[in-house]
Amino acid sequence: MKYKIVLLPGDGIGPEVTDAAVKVLQFVAEKIGLELSFSYHLMGGCSYDANETPLTDATLNACYDSDAVFLGAVGGVKWESLPHHLKPEAALLKIRKSLGLFSNIRPAKVYNALIDASSLRPEVLSGTDLVIFRELTGGIYFGEPRGYDEHKGWNTLVYSTEEVERIARKAFAVARQRSGRVTSVDKANVLESSQFWRKIVHQVHEEFRDVKLNDMYVDNAAMQLVRNPKQFDVILTQNLFGDILSDVAAMITGSLGMLPSASLGEKYALYEPVHGSAPDIAGQNKANPLASIASIALMFSYTFNLPEIGLSIEDAIAKTLEKNFRTADIFSEGMTLVSTTVMRDEVLKSLEEVFEKNKITVTS
Ligand code: NAD
Ligand code: IPM
Ligand code: MN
């Protein structure tokens, strides 16, 4: 079987981190005899510059014809004042919605070698391993009516039964294979939409009685994430809260440059680092490629159904960090400061070692 991979490098550091991801993907695919075909497409600000739209039908159709999409990052100051529907970010939202990618999985775990890179204390962090299930195709990101005029701006936060049920089921099912705990994060003390969310989550919980469920208000959850992140296993939440909480959770790992994500639906899958286009460091070969490489690990687990290969990629990331290689965002004294491309090459070397050790060879 040959998998079709669509690559959307995007803007800013997007192309730099995509390069690293693709090199890792190619290396591993060759190693295990996985057949892949790649096609690159413009999306985001670069597409607007070339085509006057951030997402062409050709790019979207390529995604419809894919087994997996990898996205670097989109956006930047240059496109900030465009009308909403022409912004780079609108393209990303349209892809997520069009492909039905309702389940956004954002794992945050601590690599021991990075325990000093975070602004949080090591004893608070050690052993943290949580995953955020963010609803990705509903909520205030997509609700109608929306708009602004001279005097006011408005958005609509709405969730249907089906939208809450399907993401809740995913979160409970995964919790079952982990520590068996789900924290559903809402704002049910203020928002009717959250009261509804809570009711449906509890209904779905009836199907998963062996999993422990607790509810938490989002303001408290943000605080608890930095106070005692170990208390969390699976966090289940709506689109906007998941966006914010995942950037908070990034500091558990030491940097936004470490956090990967998988966005899954019934038919399609998209993998992307959680971070943005980082205009402040774009084009300088400084970006941390590990979030992108870890997103490729998720692609092996979810799209290729080879979780053991996904784990090997994570092992290679850990090994590279244990060899003290650090990009600027995770650098601390005594470590070796490296560029994006050197970090990429060091991960490739570590991968070779991990594969050697695990005796992974051609399987198909
Ligand atoms: P950002 O994530 O781009 O950057 C925030 C901070 O983190 C910056 O200081 C940046 O240098 C640093 N950072 C991010 N990724 C890094 C990496 N891999 N290595 C090292 N440092 C890294 O967020 P922002 O500055 O708020 O947004 C910039 C643009 O990116 C905006 O246009 C925004 O809309 C867009 N954005 C896109 C995505 C996406 O494409 N998925 C996600 C978030 C933001
Ligand atoms: C993310 C990003 C996006 C979001 C933006 C760029 C549309 O911040 O993936 O976390 O808000 O979902
Ligand atoms: Mn975000």
The answer to whether 8 touches 43, Cβ cutoff 8 Å, is yes
**CB within 8 A of 165, min separation 6: which ones?**
200, 203, 204
| Digit-coded pLDDT (tens) for 220-237 | 999 999 999 999 999 999
pLDDT for the residue numbered 246: 97
The overall average pLDDT reported for the chain is: 97
pLDDT for the residue numbered 78: 96
The percentage of residues in the chain with a pLDDT greater than 90, rounded to a whole number, is 96
Tell me the mean pLDDT in the region 162-169: 98
CA of 31 to the centre of ligand 2 (A): 33
Tell me the mean pLDDT in the region 204-216: 98
What type of residue is 161? Answer: T
Instruction: Give me the domains of the chain, ranges plus CATH numbers.
Output: 1-107+256-364 (3.40.718.10), 118-253 (3.40.718.10)
pLDDT for the residue numbered 117: 85
| Digit-coded pLDDT (tens) for 19-55 | 999 999 999 999 999 999 999 999 999 999 999 999 9
Residue 243 predicted with pLDDT over 80: yes
Q: Model confidence at 362, in pLDDT bands (50, 70, 90)?
A: low
Tell me the mean pLDDT in the region 63-68: 98
The answer to whether 241 touches 185, Cβ cutoff 8 Å, is yes
Q: CA 52, CA 286: separation in Å to the nearest integer? A: 29
pLDDT for the residue numbered 359: 80
CA of 34 to the centre of ligand 2 (A): 31
Question: Between 340-358 and 307-322, two packed helices, what is the crossing angle to 10 degrees?
Answer: 120
Q: Model confidence at 143, in pLDDT bands (50, 70, 90)?
A: very high
What are 84's two structure tokens?
Answer: 């909403």
- Looking at the CA of residue 17, tell me the nearest atom of ligand 1: 18
pLDDT for the residue numbered 1: 79
CA of 113 to the centre of ligand 2 (A): 28
Give the β-pairing of 143-148 and 153-156.
antiparallel
**pTM of the entire predicted model:** 0.97
Helix (H, G, I), strand (E, B) or coil at 181: strand
pLDDT for the residue numbered 358: 86
- Candidate from 119, 275, 339, 341 with most ligand 1 atoms within 8 A of CB, to mutate: 275
Residue 167 predicted with pLDDT over 90: yes
